[in-house]
Amino acid sequence: MCSSDLGSQMARLNVKPTRMELNTLKERLKTATRGHKLLKDKRDELMRRFIESVRENDRLRQKVEAALIGNMQEFVLAKCLENDLMVQEIFAVPTREVSLHIETENIMSVRVPKMHAHIDNPYGDDEGDVVYSYVASNSQMDNTIQEMEELLPDLLRLAEIEKTCQLMADEIEKTRRRVNGLEYATIPDLKETIYYIEMKLEEAERANLVRMMKVK
């Protein structure tokens, strides 16, 4: 393919071939090139942090799922030792009050959630850790409930990190599109237009020089 065919495929901007336009386009090219580098750096850093978050998410999910499966198995065994009415009584009254406060943290222009949970005994410290009757329960049930309470921080962190991964993935995709737009459209179009104007200005200068030589 000849060079003229390649040039005809470029999306040259619709501007007048003047020196003022040439200077303006060169400034735009500098800005676009600088912006392209900054966006690539942002994309690369987002990818690095995203991979770290995905690894933490996978590790934490495996830990939480294993704990939930184990607790469910223990609960089934403990439930077999109680009648249904007694189990309903055990879980009729909440043993804890959880206050959840959600803040946001800025990571490379991505606002991700930070969860802070405060766990209280709604019946005061005098009531002890368990509000239901020990007589009505059994040790396996007590252990299961205690282990589920201890799992709460990991559950909150898992929700936090999964949302973070989702938000970062969305931002990576948006940044990738902007990088590609600059790299494959804006910057090539500016370069092609600058080249076109420079050629036109050189032609005009040569034509003017020829006229001056003819006058002499």
Sequence letter at residue 138? N
- Bridge partner residues of 98 (DSSP): 119
Quote the crossing angle between the two packed helices 139-181 and 19-80, to the nearest 10°: 170
Asked whether residue 187 carries a pLDDT value surpassing 90, the answer given is yes
Asked whether residue 132 carries a pLDDT value surpassing 70, the answer given is no
SS3 breakdown of the chain: % helix, strand, coil, rounded to 5? Answer: 70, 10, 20
- Bridge partner residues of 99 (DSSP): 118
Average pLDDT over the chain, rounded to an integer: 84
Question: Average pLDDT for residues 153-177, to the nearest whole number?
Answer: 95
CB 148 within 8 A of CB 73: no
Question: Average pLDDT for residues 80-86, to the nearest whole number?
Answer: 74
User: Distance between CA 127 and CA 118 in Å, rounded?
Assistant: 19
For the chain, which domains are there?
36-202 (1.10.287.3240)
Question: Average pLDDT for residues 56-63, to the nearest whole number?
Answer: 96
Task: Report residue 141's pLDDT band, with 50, 70 and 90 as the boundaries.
Answer: confident
Q: Is 87 exposed, middle or buried (0-12, 13-18, 19+ CB in 10 A)?
A: middle
Question: Measuring CA to CA, how many Å separate 209 from each of 19, 22, 146, 167?
Answer: 17, 21, 93, 61
Question: Average pLDDT for residues 143-168, to the nearest whole number?
Answer: 90
Question: Average pLDDT for residues 13-30, to the nearest whole number?
Answer: 93
